[in-house]
Chains A and B, each alone.
Chain A
């Protein structure tokens, strides 16, 4: 496994708030990551520091085994598509695309033109007059057509309707298949991207709480449903991350994969077993973490 990004003990403090709190992780080469977490969890801060658009308070970042700061060799191999990208006042989409073409060595002009058609992006309208969705399309097109070795998409879908988002996912996947590269996709639409991403990196209140393959997350938790007493018997001794009840029926989500014997036990007890989607898992874990002292949360995850 080759790491293209190595983040070590990264801390970013804004006045009295820690946006990143001693964060350490690696990003593997040619892998699509889901970089997930609640608003304000530290995703954008982390991506800004990795792309040298912001400074850490302490800790280090290495990209392609080099310091990214003022390092053109590294920066031209990374593309950061920001949710709130600012463009010059009088710029048109064709200017943004022309600038990107100059900056990114692997830029594919033909691909960019196809994407412009796919997203029906007007090229000769001032960017400030574009709709929110069209503005997002400018970023998405640059992100895909730049073919940068590392591409960050920070909530790239704002204002894009379901059809346009599907076009984005399909084109990204198709181009990734032909030209493998590292993609960090930050999104709140977790169920939409769950099948696209190979690894999941979850950040919560400035700390990494999950860093694993998406496949591993598919049986990382299970929900047991049935009469409260029977459910309680089964979940005793397990780590419960969510509990709901309706009359005498309880629905309890527990962490940990269930083996064949445990599944048989559930069935024998007349309980139902429901899978937990990636989105549910992350919602539960980030809620769960919020209710616990930080030290304990760390212990659970490492």
Chain B
């Protein structure tokens, strides 16, 4: 669940973002508290607080005084937009690099992607 080489608070923030993107944490819902995060991930509460603060700065979470942190309205769209614009760099570029190494061109890749996506849809139907 926790990997090396990336600041822990960033990972905590990303885990929360994942739950917002996949819909398990809905907009307006209360986000887990710093202490809940600390206990769940077995990390220092200060680290969890830093991750939460990062999301608050970004406008993904907002604070309701005396109650806790809540998922902001529009948070999911914000995160989706961010992830879509990062998609090419994060996923397509390494895919192309490996393809080039093993002698596949963009056309081959496109064909593979189409083939796989029909397979997985039919796979799900059967």
Residues of A in contact with B (beta carbons under 8 Å apart):
31-32, 169-170, 173-174, 176-178, 180, 195-198, 214-215, 218-219, 222, 267, 274-277
Contact = CB atoms under 8 A, between A and B. Distances in A.
A130 to B, nearest CB: 28
Given A195-B43, A198-B44, A198-B47, A173 B38 contact: yes
**Most B C-beta atoms less than 10 A away, residue of A169, A180, A214, A277:** A214
A174 to B, nearest CB: 6
A191 to B, nearest CB: 10
Contacts of B3: 275
Interface in B1-23: 2-9
Contacts of A219: 5-7
Contact of B4 (A31, A177, A215, A277): A277
B39 interface: yes
Interface string B39-68: 101111111001000000000000000000
B9 A177 contact: no
B39 A170 contact: yes
A218 B5 contact: yes
B30 to A, nearest CB: 18
A202 to B, nearest CB: 17
A173 B6 contact: no
A173 B44 contact: yes
A218 B7 CA distance: 6
A178 B35 CA distance: 8
Nearest to B44: A198
Interface of B: 2-9, 34-35, 38-39, 41-47, 50, 97
A118 to B, nearest CB: 15
Given A173-B39, A174-B39, A196-B42, A215 B47 contact: yes
A195 B2 contact: yes
Contact of B8 (A31, A180, A215, A222): A215
Contact of A197 (B2, B34, B44): B44
A32 to B, nearest CB: 6
Contacts of A180: 45
The 7 closest A-B pairs by CB, nearest first: A275-B5, A275-B4, A177-B35, A195-B43, A177-B45, A198-B44, A198-B46
A215 B7 contact: yes
A219 B38 CA distance: 21
Contacts of B41: 195
B6 to A, nearest CB: 7
9 contacts: A174-B39, A177-B39, A195-B2, A195-B43, A198-B44, A215-B47, A219-B5, A219-B7, A276-B4
Given A174-B39, A180-B45, A218-B8, 17 more contacts: A173-B42, A173-B43, A177-B34, A177-B35, A178-B35, A195-B2, A195-B43, A195-B44, A196-B44, A198-B47, A214-B8, A215-B7, A218-B6, A218-B7, A219-B7, A275-B3, A277-B4
Contacts of B38: 173, 177
A169 to B, nearest CB: 7
B4 A218 contact: yes
